Chain A
Amino acid sequence: MIDISRVQKELQDCEKDRDSSGIRVCPKSDNLTRLTGTIPGPIGTPYEGGTFQIDITIPEGYPFEPPKMQFSTKVWHPNISSQSGAICLDVLKDQWSPALTLKTALVSVQALLSAPEPKDPQDAVVAEQYMKNYQVFVSTARYWTQTFAKNSSLEDKVKRLVEMGFGDAQARSAIESSGGDENVALEKLCSG
């Protein structure tokens, strides 16, 4: 049985300091088993300026089992699969503790972006590039950030939904109530 009340409390806590932390967690499903986490790329890294989305699945045994997390934004990093977004991080595996939360786990993922561990890689190609040709790694990671992790502005998102035939005010409010996630907003608009 998932401890739903704990997940709800976590969401509230995360919401309280989202402006300072930049970390957000938004529900994807009504039963709170699927969520979307958002972390800003750390400053001073090739991920700076990007906003990265992470698919979160809460397992039955949560919080005694770690949440499952996987990048849905493509990212070039030795410990993250460039293909699937799978993350190699100890706190999401054997170093999980129920004292950790979705937010602290996302903070750890953010720290992983700042401090890659190429000797324990998830993506062998990226890790090899990191170790043998660091400058090329940095430019590739930066290029991927620019290409896949740059937020389009609210106006861009509204414009796209308006082009699909939704009203301006309706589109704007759907995006705002979806934490800026254009796809969630579209689902909301379609489900009426």
Chain B
Amino acid sequence: MGSSSSLHHICLFLFPGLSIGEIFDSSLPNHQDEPSGLSIGSIFNSTYFLDPQDDPQDEPSGGLSSTLVQKLPQFKTSKPARPDGSECVVCLDGFRKGRWCRRLPGCGHVFHRKCVDTWFLRADTCPTCRARVRLTEEDAQQG
């Protein structure tokens, strides 16, 4: 019963407002699903935070610190940066004049700064090609 009570505790933390029954109805529907590896671990994996001390908006696991994110190269668009009318894949909005952007060292993919910074607090890979983010072109060349 010890494990089930700690499970209860975890579920209350992860899914406040839901009863255990509701949680399991949606995520662990029946016993035949259990061997699939859909364990408490996978419930954790589907969220981005583990420790109640962590604010999920600030430092989720797998992301970069905001200090590192701010070190990534940035530029301000002086004219529509992409004459082909392409857009930031994060917000699906265009690169209009005067918007701060980042071109990632190595892969060269471009995003609005605001959009990609939010992502980098959660993950350290390029949204487009999944390359691990590097701070500078030199880092990227060294691999």
- List the interface of chain A (C-beta within 8 A of B): 3, 5-6, 9-10, 13, 61, 63-65, 70, 81, 83-84, 86, 88, 93-94, 97-99, 120-125, 127
Contacts and interface: CB of A to CB of B under 8 A. Distances in A.
B109 to A, nearest CB: 9
Given A98-B127, A120-B36, A122-B36, A83 B91 contact: no
Interface string B65-103: 000000000000000000000000111110000000000
B42 to A, nearest CB: 8
Contact of B92 (A10, A84, A86, A88): A10
Interface stretch (B11-19, B118-126, B134-142): B118-126
Given A86-B38, A123-B36, 13 more contacts: A64-B122, A70-B26, A81-B30, A83-B30, A88-B36, A93-B42, A93-B46, A97-B125, A98-B119, A99-B127, A121-B35, A121-B36, A122-B38
B29 to A, nearest CB: 4
Interface size class of B (residues with CB under 8 A): 20 to 34
Nearest to B118: A64
Given A86-B33, A99-B89, A64 B119 contact: yes
28 contacts: A5-B91, A5-B93, A9-B92, A64-B119, A81-B29, A81-B30, A83-B29, A83-B30, A83-B33, A84-B30, A84-B33, A86-B26, A86-B27, A88-B36, A93-B42, A94-B45, A97-B123, A97-B125, A98-B90, A98-B115, A98-B119, A99-B89, A99-B127, A99-B128, A120-B36, A123-B32, A124-B34, A124-B35
Contacts of A61: 48
Given A99-B128, A123-B32, A124-B33, A88 B91 contact: no
Contacts of A97: 123, 125, 127-128, 130
Interface string B22-62: 00011101101111111000100110100000000000000
Interface of B: 25-27, 29-30, 32-38, 42, 45-46, 48, 89-93, 115, 118-119, 122-123, 125, 127-128, 130
Nearest to B29: A84
A129 B43 CA distance: 26
B91 A6 contact: yes
Contacts of B115: 98
B130 A81 contact: no
Contacts of B32: 83, 123-125
Nearest to B31: A124
B107 to A, nearest CB: 12
A5 B128 CA distance: 20
Contacts of B123: 97
A122 B30 CA distance: 11
Contacts of B119: 64, 98
A81 B45 CA distance: 19
A64 B91 CA distance: 10
A123 B130 contact: no
A81 B128 CA distance: 30
Contacts of B45: 93-94
Nearest to A7: B92
A84 B26 contact: yes
